Amino acid sequence: MTAQTYLAFDIGAESGRAMLASFDGGRLSLSELHRFPNGPVRLPDGLHWDILRIWSDVKNAIGMAFRDTESPPASLGIDTWAVDFGLLDRTGALIGNPYHYRDSRTDGMIEEACRRVPRAEIFEQTGIQFLQLNTLYQLLAMVVAQSPALEIAHTFLTIPDLLNYWLTGQKFCEFTNATTTQFYNPRRGDWAWDLLERMGIPKHIFPPIIPPGTNLGKLTPAVREELGISEGRCPQVIAPACHDTGSAVAAVPAVESRFVWISSGTWSVMGTEAPHPIITPDSLRNNFTNEGGVAGTFRFSKNVMGLWLVQECRRTWAQQGEAYSYDELVKMASQAPAFLAVIDPDYPEFFKPGDMPERIRRFCKLTGQPVPEDKGAVVRCALEGIALKYRWVLERLEEMLGYHLEPVYIVGGGTQNRLLSQFTADALRRQVYTGPIEATALGNIMMQMIAMGALHNVAEGRELIRKSFPLSVYEPAQTAGWDEAYDKLCAIMARYPLEAGG
């Protein structure tokens, strides 16, 4: 049979990629068509995304897929990070550049929200963990500031929904991203209208919610004309799991029902699949979240700061004239002493861009521990802290669910950090499978294939991914020292209980 081609856009906080997948009827193959940088842009009014550059790169990649490949894609889909959004006026024009979730305008907004609606009630209505980056607090900041943009807004769209609107003219919010806003009610299956009203957020701006795998139709005539694509060759635009973690988890190549997944990248997200939201006093106390998944599932999970710590260390050292590759930093970390100091990666000071090595050293001083001076020690401290926090999350998961979870699947770009993968196996004392690296793009493609009729369901898609992409396996090895380090982390968390935004 002729191979069928699909185009997936996976746009993250550091970069975006356009990935081409080819399905020959038995296996998938994946290749990178276009990569482009992405990151914050600071303006006098705060930290923003350069959404017009992102849009330009999306269009350029679609043009490349039709101009430079033998088999143009039958469909395309976009996934991005969550929580950020654009506002449209009544004519459909974008009102300003979307803000970046690390902008400081949300400082203090969790407290302001809880003055308007009790914390327990917010969680009862949404089941979402309290992070100051959540869309709820971004919009509340606009309410408090009496933002003119909010006054003239006609439509709210999350970032992938905005790009889908520009591609197709369709104004919808896709389910997996809508659930991350902290104003979606998973029990009612709709926006949390009462919560929005009590926060003073205008309710008329929110469009209908669609499930992952929805076919949005073809490119608009204007986009087709700009890119030189005839209507007969025009791809279908599918809304996959538009939240990148939703797509990544869809692609976890698990065969077990009670497994743990970690989507590892700038952020780590760790959890398990559940058939319904788990909204209990314990999940509120532990600040876990219930985000929408594919095929009617929910991702019961928790965010961990992740490789952002190492990324910021690398950026800081590069600014100081010392540029290192990630491989070089990991090698230095592997040679540094183990357990010199223990950090909580979710400590609030680690959340915003800045001098991360100095912040890690300050945290160690604050908590009365030895201070990592050289670069390898700083990176090892960060990686050990991430693995130890994974253990804390796993223990809370098993406590709340009442059963054992194994094995652990790590997907995403963070799987390339083999040292962190081994630390995870050692700290958790669990077998760890890593791969595929491009899980997010593959989950995106899998949902396109289901929408286009090439696959029947998620189980069939996961089997295809297992068959097409090899996994690496890590067994617990050097477990000595992890228990003592974990006890230190728990003591630190008890003394300094705040999380970033929580």
How many CB atoms neighbour CB 368 within 10 A?
9
* SS3 of residue 443 by DSSP: helix
Would you place residue 501 in the very low, low, confident or very high pLDDT band (cuts 50, 70, 90)?
Answer: very low
Q: Tens digits of per-residue pLDDT, 78-128? A: 999 999 999 999 999 999 999 999 999 999 999 999 999 999 999 999 999
- Residues near 494 by Cβ (< 8 Å), separated by ≥ 6? none
Would you place residue 2 in the very low, low, confident or very high pLDDT band (cuts 50, 70, 90)?
Answer: confident
Q: pTM for this structure?
A: 0.91
How buried is residue 60: exposed, middle or buried, by Cβ count under 10 Å (0-12/13-18/19+)?
middle
Which of 127, 242, 223 is CA-nearest to residue 176? 242
Would you place residue 498 in the very low, low, confident or very high pLDDT band (cuts 50, 70, 90)?
Answer: low
- Taking the alpha carbons at both ends of the chain, their separation in whole angstroms is 52
Q: What is the largest CA-CA distance in the chain?
A: 67
CA distance 430 to 405: 9
Q: Tens digits of per-residue pLDDT, 233-253? A: 999 999 999 999 999 999 999
Q: Is pLDDT larger for residue 474 or for residue 231?
A: 474
Q: Which amino acid is at 161?
A: D
Which of 78, 133, 103 is CA-nearest to residue 246? 78
3-state SS, 118-155, equals: CHHHHHHHHCCCCCCCCHHHHHHHHHHCCCHHHHHCCE
Which of these CATH numbers, 3.40.50.620, 3.40.1010.10, 3.30.420.40, 1.10.1660.10, describes 4-243?
3.30.420.40
CA distance 165 to 162: 5
How many CB atoms neighbour CB 390 within 10 A?
27
* SS3 of residue 407 by DSSP: coil
* pLDDT above 60 (res 387): yes
Q: Torsion angle of alpha carbons 180, 359, 311, 329, nearest 10°?
A: -140
Which of 435, 90, 118 is CA-nearest to residue 251? 435
Mean pLDDT of all residues in 367-387: 98
How many CB atoms neighbour CB 1 within 10 A?
7
Topology alike, domains 4-243 and 245-305+394-474: yes
CATH architecture of structural domain 245-305+394-474: 2-Layer Sandwich (3.30)
Chain centroid, CA 343 distance in Å: 22
How buried is residue 302: exposed, middle or buried, by Cβ count under 10 Å (0-12/13-18/19+)?
buried
How many CB atoms neighbour CB 70 within 10 A?
7
Mean pLDDT of all residues in 276-297: 96
CA distance 187 to 138: 23
With residue 14 as reference, give the H or E element that holds it: none
CA distances, 12 to each of 30, 171, 258, 410 (Å) = 18, 22, 28, 17
With residue 298 as reference, give the H or E element that holds it: strand 298-304
The pLDDT value given to residue 70: 82
CA distances, 360 to each of 153, 177, 223, 307, 490 (Å) = 41, 32, 47, 14, 17
Domain boundaries, the chain: 4-243, 245-305+394-474, 308-388+481-495
Mean pLDDT of all residues in 373-402: 98
Structure tokens at 384: 């050990």
Q: Tens digits of per-residue pLDDT, 140-160? A: 999 999 999 999 999 999 999
The pLDDT value given to residue 31: 96
- Residues near 460 by Cβ (< 8 Å), separated by ≥ 6? none
Q: Where are the alpha helices (DSSP H) in 204-337?
A: 221-227, 244-250, 281-285, 308-319, 326-335
* pLDDT above 70 (res 417): yes
What superfamily does domain 308-388+481-495 belong to in CATH? ATPase, nucleotide binding domain (3.30.420.40)
Taking CA 434 as the corner, what is the angle to CA 431 and CA 435, rounded to the nearest 5 degrees?
A: 150
* SS3 of residue 80 by DSSP: strand
Dihedral sign for Cα 269, 272, 276, 277, please. negative
Q: Where are the alpha helices (DSSP H) in 336-438?
A: 356-366, 375-401, 418-428
How many CB atoms neighbour CB 55 within 10 A?
15
* pLDDT above 50 (res 502): no
Chain centroid, CA 17 distance in Å: 15
How buried is residue 408: exposed, middle or buried, by Cβ count under 10 Å (0-12/13-18/19+)?
buried
Instruction: Please spell the DSSP secondary structure of 455-479, one letter per residue.
Output: -SSHHHHHHHHHHHS--EEE-----
Would you place residue 1 in the very low, low, confident or very high pLDDT band (cuts 50, 70, 90)?
Answer: low
Question: For residue 367, what is the DSSP state?
Answer: T
Q: Give the active site residues.
A: 244
Rounded-to-5 percentages of helix, strand, coil across the chain: 45, 20, 35
Would you place residue 496 in the very low, low, confident or very high pLDDT band (cuts 50, 70, 90)?
Answer: confident
